[in-house]
Amino acid sequence: MNFGVIGYKGRMGKLILELFQEHNHTPVLLVDKNEIIEKEKPDVIIDFSNKDALETTIYFCKKYSSNLVIGTTALKEEHFKLLKELSENVAVVQSYNFSIGINILLDILEKYSKIFEKWDCEIVETHHSKKKDKPSGTAILLKNTINRNLEIHSLRLGGIPGDHAIFFSNEGELIQFSHRALSRKVFALGALKAAEFVMKKTRGFFTFKDILKEEI
Ligand SMILES: NC(=O)C1=CN([C@@H]2O[C@H](COP(=O)(O)OP(=O)(O)OC[C@H]3O[C@@H](n4cnc5c(N)ncnc54)[C@H](OP(=O)(O)O)[C@@H]3O)[C@@H](O)[C@H]2O)C=CC1
Ligand SMILES: O=C(O)C1=N[C@H](C(=O)O)C[C@H](O)C1
């Protein structure tokens, strides 16, 4: 496939560019802050950049009828509205976490977190010190899935790719669910899986969990 990367100079952008090429896909559109390299029509555009790039991303998706895989976090309601509108014409996969493990954890929490309704619950997320947003998109996703008012604690340290832990506790016990991304490559692999998925679709709004339905 011909693909585009928004945020191609970033930590995720560089990995995505490398991994997709290893799988014989061709980069035809590269966008970063104040930079656009435009060669051909991309079949799919991958955006791991910043919410401020969304306008540009949507411009290119519309211009070329390209499908979109977007992992950028800190999106606001207005951004989701734009993505839903876009998905009326092209296929969009949006997720704050493209790892398989977090999506399995979301599934478990969706099914079982009600059991802990009367227990205290808090989330701790730990990421590298260069991460710009707080709390992480994944922590927001976990909180929305648990579907209750709870506190998120954010740590920004060293080079940690992404740790999330959910604690449930009553007077005498503690249960902890946790996930650690051992490297950023898991997210790039997830983006590749999502890009291959959208190539089979013409339109619609999907999450990474929709893609993993057959696996989890
Ligand atoms: N969903 C998931 O599974 C994952 C999501 N993420 C998310 O992906 C995003 C990128 O993460 P990461 O690669 O670590 O971040 P980086 O800061 O390393 O990369 C982002 C890149 O986008 C560029 N950029 C910033 N603003 C714009 C803009 N308006 N137009 C075009 N390019 C722009 C940045 O340029 P500059 O540095 O000059 O600002 C930078 O090169 C974050 O939102 C992060 O939370 C990350 C990992 C996994
Ligand atoms: O910025 C990151 O690095 C990550 N961002 C995502 C988030 O905010 O949840 C996913 C992952 O944890 C890494």
Give pLDDT tens digits for 129-179. 999 999 999 999 999 999 999 999 999 999 999 999 999 999 999 999 999
Tokens in use for 75? Answer: 């999106």
Q: Is 127 noted as a catalytic residue in this protein?
A: yes
Which residue shows structure tokens 């989701």? Answer: 80
Assess: ipTM above 0.95.
yes
Q: Between the CA atoms of 157, 158, 163 and 167, what dihedral angle is there, to the nearest 10 degrees?
A: -30
> Of the listed 25, 79, 127, 164, which one is catalytic?
127
Q: Which domains are assigned to the chain?
A: 2-94+185-214 (3.40.50.720), 100-181 (3.30.360.10)
Burial of 128 (0-12, 13-18, 19+ CB in 10 A): middle
CA-nearest of 112, 115, 83, 111 to 96 is: 83
Tokens in use for 110? Answer: 């969706």
Distance between CA atoms of 94 and 86, rounded to whole angstroms?
12
User: Binding site for (S)-2,3,4,5-tetrahydrodipicolinate: which residues?
Assistant: 128, 137-138
Mean pLDDT of the chain: 97
- The stretches in the chain having pLDDT less than 50 are none
Mutate to test the pocket of ligand 1, among 50, 75, 129 (most ligand atoms within 8 A of CB): 50
**What phi and psi values does residue 84 have, to the nearest 5 degrees?**
-65, -40
Q: Are 95 and 80 in contact (CB under 8 A)?
A: no
Q: Is 62 noted as a catalytic residue in this protein?
A: no
Give pLDDT tens digits for 205-215. 999 999 998 67
Q: What is the pLDDT of residue 213?
A: 86
Q: Are 164 and 178 in contact (CB under 8 A)?
A: yes
